[in-house]
Amino acid sequence: MEETHLNGNSSPGEATHAPLPGVSDARRAVARARDAQQRWKLEPLSARVAALTRAAKTLLRLRSEVIALAADEMGKVEAEGLFNEALGPLETVKGWARVVETATARRSVRLNPINFPRKQAYVDLVPRGVVGVIAPWNYPVAGLYRSTLPALLTGNAVVVKPSEYTPRTSAWLVERLAAELPGGLAQVLQGDGRAGAALIDAGIDACVFTGSPETGRKVRVQCAERGIPASVEMGGKDAAIVLADCDLARTVAGVTHWALSNAGQACGAIEIAYVDERVADAFVAAMRAAWMRLRLGTRRADVVIAQVEDARARGAVVVCGGSPTGEGLGYAPTLLDRCDERMKVVRDETFGPVLAVVRVAGAAEAIRAVNASRYGLGTSLWTRDVGRAERLAERLEVGVVNVNNHAFSGAIPALPWSGTRDTGFGVANGPEALSTFVRPRATILDRSSGPELFWMPYDDALLELGDILADAQLTRLDRVWRLPGLMRRRIRTIRQFFS
């Protein structure tokens, strides 16, 4: 992803420009959200779930609207608009409700009754306040489920800065949520990267960003300077490792889908296939036969053209595609064989309908290559030997490993979606993601009526008492008999001092 502003992923075409908000607009949105959040955080989880369930059912009933919006703003085909954007809100609310209920349950802490008499302690996870979400264009609705829903369910308010390339599609989601929530709790701040920067400066309590490594680093620095947590996902270069014993028909179908779904414009798209050289010819031939029958393309981006031309110049074989479709901004699905690490198409994120095939001697070589990548989001292993795949998965230095499938876990709230290296350390989904939205608050209850032994004033009796307690931890018990008298003496001293 090559964009340089706080927009989310790189642009699909011309931006749909909205009036550019100033810093004052962002501050007003955050202030309004904060007022609403003060009431919302006091609502029980059951009430939050009920409100978002109503909103999710509305989203499902009106799914034709978002399918049309996504088609208009970014050219998303109807089937992907339905399955990728429109179909998931209700199941996502249910999934997140289960995660939040378990992960945020009050945790009791046992205290030693000798050292801490008549005391009780517990830990609650409480909302941070206002969460700013800087959203990408490639999944303008579904990409927001993973941040807005857990943020709201844990008692936060949200202000979403959509990509300027899909402002209406993302706003459609937030507006449908807002209709079931207190006024101001869920808002949209439109604009380009400057609006994203203004949102971070406006006093938010946490930030979620999806976009390029270059911009993600800026977001992390800006948030760090303001002392707020940031969950930053910065792209991927996902690989499929195709082993010699794979089910070739299923592997070809699966790799095709996850390479070309959303026209390859997904951080979890398969962009490289490390194929065991013993099945490479058969794999490439089967892929070519399938891809030549496909009729899809993506809005042409300079980075796609540049990477394909670089690969061609360095000796890659263009099996199919490799050029614009000639229809608008379309670029044909492109399969490149005999690629290597010298090529940009192997090193850098492509974000388009291009798959680079790298022939390897076996699993070990493929794993070394994946672990050497600048990105570390996901990898899939394709093999009939699932037990071996489990062992190989332990050697992969990525955030998500699939065996005989790829990337679908991004839609499962209970499973963390995260990465390493230039993908960033942000976590979406799973209880591990909640640290962006909640913070721990410890509460200690003391029912004692007398003073604590260690309180002022300090005297020789306190020093002797502490020394005996230290020896007792070392099982030196010869002076333990003196403890009751020293304790009575200390309490008497403190009471007399403060009377």
The helix/strand count (H/E) of the chain reads as 17, 21
d(CA 98, CA 103): 9
| Alpha carbon 28 to its chain's center | 27
Cα distances from 426 to residues 155, 211, 395, 419, 432, in angstroms, run 20, 11, 21, 7, 10
Q: Does 457 sit behind a cis peptide bond, omega within 30 degrees of 0 on the bond before it?
A: yes
* Residues carrying an active site annotation: 233, 267
d(CA 303, CA 348): 10
Local structure of residue 116 (DSSP, 8 states):
S
List residues bridging with 132 in a β-sheet: 159, 207
- Residue 411 phi, psi dihedral angles, 5° rounding: -100, 10
Opening angle at CA 285, ends 282 and 286, nearest 5: 85
Q: Which of 175, 95, 126 is nearest to 417 (CA)?
A: 95
- Residue 375 phi, psi dihedral angles, 5° rounding: -105, 165
Residues in the chain: 499
424: left (phi > 0), else alpha (psi -120 to 50), else beta? left
d(CA 185, CA 419): 30
d(CA 299, CA 471): 74
d(CA 347, CA 374): 7
298-299 and 330-331 beta bridge pairing: antiparallel
| Alpha carbon 475 to its chain's center | 49
